[in-house]
């Protein structure tokens, strides 16, 4: 058992509790009574993965089946990896301590593109063949993946047996049920994959061939062996009736988000044209106020956490938000639990909401204007005015807040230098607002500006847009720094090499599999950690494969171009994306879904209108 061998080295690594298991809430089963074993792999370290809500849901849901066992697997930090390689210790699951290669399913969640080399590294540590074609006809282990980045799985297509598109609560169990049946019948890997491809939401890349034009763009995507020509994502239609755990594994060490979360809704009504999550998780579906309160209280009672987060893409858009807060605050005040709303919107942030969420403890507020001028906010369909930004800050300052964090992007379509200067000017107006208020203590205000480089993503109206070059982003960063005059304004900026690689992997095709493999072989992994990302190694991998990162990241894509993900259906129509892109270039906004349906197509899965 690899875990027992690791124990003798725990004092030689940082945070040894990452590797021990044994936490409160962990689920242990008798292996002799298990028909299907599922290793849920998060391709980053324990501290990051233990904050992931999807893992908590699917871990508990799968383990409700007595004969199925889901266990957790995380990437080791570099100190532990060095020991594991030196001592020939295989990657293992925390619950049983068994090698990952012994499981039926090795399932990865694809949360961000810069984790891709970690996936290869974990498979290698597990002694599982990295390339799908090298796994032969033995049925297990099957290497699968889901999560938001599965909307374009092509850069990873040659490594995985299958991908799960959309929401996994139902399809994961359907897949395991099929596996159990075919395993008992002695099926081969190929036989299972052909059958699995018939389940809605399952994409088996080996059943599809991709041909290219001479200019490198996709010519055609051809399915074979009766695989569907188009694969539609899975959607949970009733959030109130969907499964949600009432207890979770309590980590030994502090994860990056050290709190309990209850999911209040899925989808988003806003239609910000840059936001992939806002389109991937459509249609908009609310969980009832009663269910939210029941689940939130149960999680607090069973976990002992002192902070409860109402989680979603835009929690303040829940139609019963104040009713939810009223019900939960009765419990949280008595139990000394802090209630937080991490996804607040500037344009519907009210004084009454502020008063409710600060009853227990005040902390800094975070808002995302995204752009510094009204013209550019209209381009990206942010539907937020400068007056609303200032009004929101006024409410926050009146409520005793002195710390505000603002998120912006650089390199947005149609962006000019005036738009960059507008970021500094907006922040300065917020500073002036604070000090123009009566009885304001001098010197306490802190405005933090965080700017990220715009990354065009699939299934958004900006999937056609080029990303700004590294040189252009660096030039704009200098303009912003020069434009900031107040010491009360602090800035942080994302390094552009990482952003370019995100854009490449987000919109890439399956020719990038060889690039990712060569980058990993040359030493790339933990690429989402700034201290480990090595752009030179990535660029060398592109050169070795005669591919250009600029081809994927920095060119405009025509409306009639076949995208690498064109055979995947996330319920957002191409006509809608083109229409929204055209409106962006005219700086014309589209109202939120609750005001007027924009005809994106997502409501088709509900059999009714979204509202």
CA angle 355/357/362 to nearest 5° reads 90
pLDDT over 80 (residue 115): yes
Per-residue burial over 53-74, b if 16 or more Cβ lie within 10 Å, else e, is: bbbbbbbbbbbebeebbbbbbb
The average pLDDT across 148-171 equals 97
- Among 58-72, 351-365, 389-403, 564-578, the minimum mean pLDDT is found in 351-365
Region class of 238: left (phi > 0), else alpha (psi between -120 and 50), else beta: beta
Residue 552 lies in a domain: no
**Cα 293 to Cα 283: distance, rounded to the nearest angstrom:** 23
Phi, psi at 513, each rounded to 5°: -55, -45
Q: How confident is the prediction for the chain on average, in pLDDT?
A: 93
Residue 544 lies in a domain: no
pLDDT over 90 (residue 401): no
What confidence score (pLDDT) does residue 610 get? 63
Nearest by Cα to 312 from 354, 270, 355: 270
Nearest by Cα to 505 from 524, 492, 523, 532: 524
Residues 66 and 187 in one domain: yes
Residues 275 and 222 in one domain: no
List pLDDT tens digits, range 220-240. 999 999 999 999 999 999 999
Please count the CA atoms within 13 angstroms of the CA of 369 that sit on its side-chain side. 31
The CATH code of the domain that includes 345 is: 3.20.20.70
Residue 7 lies in a domain: yes
The average pLDDT across 539-545 equals 98
Region class of 134: left (phi > 0), else alpha (psi between -120 and 50), else beta: alpha
Q: How many domains does the chain have?
A: 2
Neighbours of 85 (CB within 10 A): 12
Residues 198 and 288 in one domain: no
Percent of the chain with pLDDT over 90: 81
- Among 32-41, 147-156, 249-258, the minimum mean pLDDT is found in 249-258
The CA–CA distances, whole Å, from 327 to 150, 324, 341 equal: 37, 5, 15
Residue 504 lies in a domain: no
Residues 92 and 135 in one domain: yes
Residues 322 and 435 in one domain: yes
**Cα 486 to Cα 428: distance, rounded to the nearest angstrom:** 7
Region class of 537: left (phi > 0), else alpha (psi between -120 and 50), else beta: alpha
pLDDT over 60 (residue 153): yes
Residue 540 lies in a domain: no
pLDDT over 60 (residue 442): no
What is the token pair recorded at 227? 């695989």
Nearest by Cα to 260 from 301, 315, 321, 313: 301
Reported as a pLDDT band with limits 50, 70 and 90, residue 162 is very high
441/458: higher pLDDT = 458
Residues 215 and 316 in one domain: no
pLDDT over 50 (residue 567): yes
Residues 214 and 291 in one domain: no
The average pLDDT across 378-390 equals 93
The average pLDDT across 305-310 equals 90
What confidence score (pLDDT) does residue 356 get? 62
pLDDT over 80 (residue 50): yes
Residues 60 and 107 in one domain: yes
The average pLDDT across 203-212 equals 98
pTM of the model: 0.95
List pLDDT tens digits, range 335-364. 888 888 776 676 666 666 666 655 544 556
- Among 84-93, 371-380, 397-406, the minimum mean pLDDT is found in 397-406
What confidence score (pLDDT) does residue 348 get? 63
Residue 389 lies in a domain: yes
Region class of 499: left (phi > 0), else alpha (psi between -120 and 50), else beta: alpha
Reported as a pLDDT band with limits 50, 70 and 90, residue 437 is confident
pLDDT over 70 (residue 212): yes
| 396: CB partners within 8 A, 6+ apart | 354, 365, 404
What confidence score (pLDDT) does residue 532 get? 95
The CATH code of the domain that includes 63 is: 3.40.50.280
pLDDT over 90 (residue 574): yes
**Cα 120 to Cα 126: distance, rounded to the nearest angstrom:** 10
- Among 276-290, 343-357, 376-390, 501-515, the minimum mean pLDDT is found in 343-357
Residue 322 lies in a domain: yes
**Cα 497 to Cα 471: distance, rounded to the nearest angstrom:** 10
Pick the last residue of a domain from 196, 214, 232: 232
Phi, psi at 548, each rounded to 5°: -120, 125
- The domain in which residue 97 lies consists of 2-232
Residues 362 and 320 in one domain: yes
**Cα 428 to Cα 442: distance, rounded to the nearest angstrom:** 15
Residues 319 and 455 in one domain: yes
Element (H, E) at 369: strand 365-370
List pLDDT tens digits, range 275-287. 999 999 999 999 9
What confidence score (pLDDT) does residue 360 get? 44
The average pLDDT across 567-591 equals 97
Residues 165 and 296 in one domain: no
pLDDT over 70 (residue 550): yes
The average pLDDT across 180-190 equals 98
Residues 465 and 412 in one domain: yes
């Amino acid at each position: 058992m690899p875990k027992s061998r690791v124990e003798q080295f725990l004092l030689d690594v940082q945070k040894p509790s990452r590797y021990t298991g044994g936490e409160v809430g962990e689920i242990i089963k008798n292996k002799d009574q298990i028909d299907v074993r599922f290793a849920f792999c998060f391709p980053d370290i324990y501290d990051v993965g233990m904050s992931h809500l999807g893992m908590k849901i699917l871990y508990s849901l799968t383990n409700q089946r007595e004969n199925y066992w889901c266990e957790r697997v995380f990437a080791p930090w570099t100190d532990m990896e060095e020991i594991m390689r030196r001592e020939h210790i295989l990657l293992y699951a925390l619950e049983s301590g068994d090698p990952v290669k012994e499981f039926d399913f090795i399932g990865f969640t694809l949360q961000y593109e810069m984790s891709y080399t970690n996936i290869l590294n974990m498979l290698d540590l597990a002694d599982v063949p990295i390339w799908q074609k090298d796994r032969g006809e033995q049925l297990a282990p099957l290497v699968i993946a889901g999560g938001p980045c599965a909307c374009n799985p092509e850069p990873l297509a040659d490594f995985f047996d299958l991908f799960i598109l959309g929401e996994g609560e139902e399809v994961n169990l359907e897949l395991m049920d099929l596996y159990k049946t075919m395993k008992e019948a002695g099926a081969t890997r190929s036989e299972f994959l052909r059958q699995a491809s018939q389940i809605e939401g399952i994409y088996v890349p080996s059943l599809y061939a991709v041909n290219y034009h001479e200019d490198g763009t996709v010519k055609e995507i051809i399915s074979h062996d009766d695989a569907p020509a188009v694969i539609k994502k899975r959607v949970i239609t009733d959030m109130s009736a969907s499964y949600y755990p009432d207890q979770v594994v309590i980590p030994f060490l502090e994860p990056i988000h050290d709190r309990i979360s209850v999911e209040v809704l899925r989808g988003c009504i806003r239609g910000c044209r840059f936001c992939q999550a806002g389109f991937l998780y459509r249609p908009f579906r609310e969980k009832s106020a009663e269910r939210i309160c029941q689940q939130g209280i149960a999680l607090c009672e069973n976990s002992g956490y002192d902070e409860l987060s109402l989680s979603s893409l835009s929690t303040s858009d829940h139609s019963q938000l104040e009713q939810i807060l009223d019900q939960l605050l009765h419990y949280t005040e008595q139990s000394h639990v802090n209630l937080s709303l991490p996804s607040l919107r500037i344009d519907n942030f009210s004084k009454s909401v502020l008063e409710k969420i600060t009853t227990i403890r005040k902390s800094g507020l975070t808002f995302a204007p995204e752009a510094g001028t009204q013209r550019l906010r209209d381009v990206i369909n942010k539907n937020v005015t400068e007056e609303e930004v200032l009004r929101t800050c006024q409410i926050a300052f009146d409520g005793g807040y002195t710390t505000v964090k603002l998120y912006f992007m650089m390199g947005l379509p149609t962006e000019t230098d005036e738009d960059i200067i507008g970021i500094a000017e907006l922040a300065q107006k917020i500073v002036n607002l604070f000090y123009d208020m009566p009885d304001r203590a001098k010197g306490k205000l802190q405005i933090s500006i965080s700017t990220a480089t715009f990354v065009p993503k699939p299934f958004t109206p900006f999937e056609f847009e080029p990303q700004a070059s590294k040189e252009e982003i660096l030039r704009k960063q200098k303009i912003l720094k020069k434009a900031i005059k107040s010491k009360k304004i602090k800035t942080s900026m994302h390094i552009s090499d990482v952003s370019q690689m995100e854009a490449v992997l987000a919109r890439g095709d399956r020719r990038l599999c060889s690039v990712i493999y060569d980058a990993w072989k040359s030493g790339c992994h933990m690429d989402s950690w700034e201290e480990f990302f090595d752009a030179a190694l990535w660029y060398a991998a592109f050169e070795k494969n005669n591919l250009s990162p600029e081809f994927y990241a920095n060119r405009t894509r025509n409306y009639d171009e076949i995208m690498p993900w064109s055979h995947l259906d996330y319920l957002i129509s191409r006509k809608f994306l083109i229409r929204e892109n055209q409106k962006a270039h005219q700086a014309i906004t589209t109202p939120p879904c609750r005001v007027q349906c924009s005809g994106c197509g997502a409501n088709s899965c509900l059999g009714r209108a979204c509202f």
